[in-house]
Amino acid sequence: MTGNATGGVLLLVEDDDSIGRLVKQYLEQQDGWRVLWLRSGEEAVAELRRHPVRLVVLDIGLPGIDGFEVCRRLRAGSKVPIIMLTARDEEPDRVAGLELGADDYVAKPFSPRELAARIKAILRRAENRTEDIVLTARDVVLRRDSREVTVRGEQVELTSKEFDLLACFLEHPGIVLSRERLLDLVWGMTYPGGTRTVDVHVAQLRRKLDDPEGIRTVRGAGYKLVP
Ligand code: CA
């Protein structure tokens, strides 16, 4: 595993010249990334089919297909971490992005430094799990080393946030976890997305694991995994 280090190729999809230049320059000079900067979603989808990258920073407002559609197409074949750039700090945009499988979002205007911090946080969670163990409950088996989840032996595709959230529930079987605590544990304390983000991801987990009762809503308190 690569630890907390950044580096490798990061794909930036942004049609705005000044933002694109600023982000590329900052991430390359401060964080040692090689930033592949593309200005359209079509190019990004085509490029990712040819070359895997460690992370994608994806603007929503793009010429041609928009960031939501790019996210949808990427998620059809890849679990690469995706951070969306939203022009408006509006709940519908954020929720739509997360529902499509984005791992996080950063609202414009943002500083390159803030974006860099989010990138590090996501990679840390996605790649730096040291407790390489198998967690199980009900019919679910989660492998931290290979980041694979199976239900009754069948592999289930989860986004990296869904995976981290499931791991968090599996670490605390039978314990009620508040939405705030889950945000803290899975997204990090400074995450401004609000607790609705947790609800969206829990709903996705219930659907993907085909187990609506496994993660129970505890009224006024949060959620718990029923062992
Ligand atoms: Ca744009």
One-letter identity of residue 206: R
Classify 134-225 by CATH class.
mainly alpha
Q: CA 46, CA 70: separation in Å to the nearest integer? A: 10
CA of 15 to the centre of ligand 1 (A): 5
CA of 59 to the centre of ligand 1 (A): 6
Compute the average pLDDT of residues 208-225: 93
68-111 pLDDT, tens digit per residue, is 999 999 988 788 899 999 876 667 777 777 788 898 889 888 99
- Enumerate the domain spans of the chain: 8-127, 134-225
Assigned CATH topology for domain 8-127: Rossmann fold (3.40.50)
CA of 159 to the centre of ligand 1 (A): 24
Q: Is 134-225 the same fold as 8-127?
A: no
- In 3D, which of 213, 142, 131 has the Cα closest to residue 225? 213
CA of 212 to the centre of ligand 1 (A): 38
CA of 93 to the centre of ligand 1 (A): 14
176-203 pLDDT, tens digit per residue, is 999 988 887 788 655 666 788 899 999 9
Predicted confidence band of residue 24 (pLDDT cuts 50, 70, 90): very high
CA of 180 to the centre of ligand 1 (A): 31
DSSP state letters, 41-71: HHHHHHHHHHS--SEEEEESS-SSS-HHHHH
152-170 pLDDT, tens digit per residue, is 999 999 998 999 999 999 9
Q: CA 152, CA 209: separation in Å to the nearest integer? A: 10
pLDDT of residue 192: 66
CA of 30 to the centre of ligand 1 (A): 24
Instruction: Kindly report the backbone phi and psi dihedral angles of residue 193, in degrees, each rounded to the nearest multiple of 5, phi listed first.
Output: -70, -15
CA of 87 to the centre of ligand 1 (A): 8
pLDDT of residue 3: 39
CA of 16 to the centre of ligand 1 (A): 5
0.85 exceeded by pTM: no
